[in-house]
Amino acid sequence: MSDAVTTASTRVREVADAVTAVPGVTGLYGGVFGEIATYLPGGRVSGVVVGDHSVHVHVVVDMDHDLRGVADGVRERVEELTGLPVTVTVEDISVQIDRIGADSAAGSTTDD
């Protein structure tokens, strides 16, 4: 593997790690058919497309977090890391399973 490929591979993985470390991000979104990804020798990094002049990141955000705040946090972290303009797309929101159970229990009523 050439130095350029190794550098690009490392850079994409660093971006993915930085994004998933932002509070509120529960995952990266690779698209319905896996089309949102950076393809590398031996694999791909879903949800992150790093080009020569920009970065595109697609994320899933926890419902309990401010979507714009999380997107801004992702954008700032990735711009800091890459020095490139970043487009962040919130593709989906996630809900914790224990929260679903708690909401169901709190909302249930019985007529006795």
At 10 the pLDDT is 82
pTM, two decimal places: 0.79
pLDDT tens string for the chain (112 positions)?
Answer: 566 556 667 889 999 999 999 999 999 999 998 899 998 888 889 999 998 899 999 999 999 999 999 999 999 999 999 999 999 999 999 997 775 555 555 555 555 4
Give the Å distances, CA to CA, from 34 to 65, 78, 83: 26, 21, 26
Q: Which residues of 6-24 are buried (b: 16+ CB within 10 A; e: fewer)?
A: eeebebbeebbebbeebeb
At 51 the pLDDT is 87
Q: Are strands 43-46 and 37-40 parallel, antiparallel or unpaired?
A: antiparallel
At 74 the pLDDT is 97
At 75 the pLDDT is 97
Across the chain, the runs of DSSP E, i.e. the strands, are 25-28, 37-40, 43-46, 48-50, 55-62, 86-94
Q: What angle do CA 16, 22, 28 make, to 5 degrees?
A: 40
Q: Torsions phi, psi of 55, nearest 5? A: -130, 135
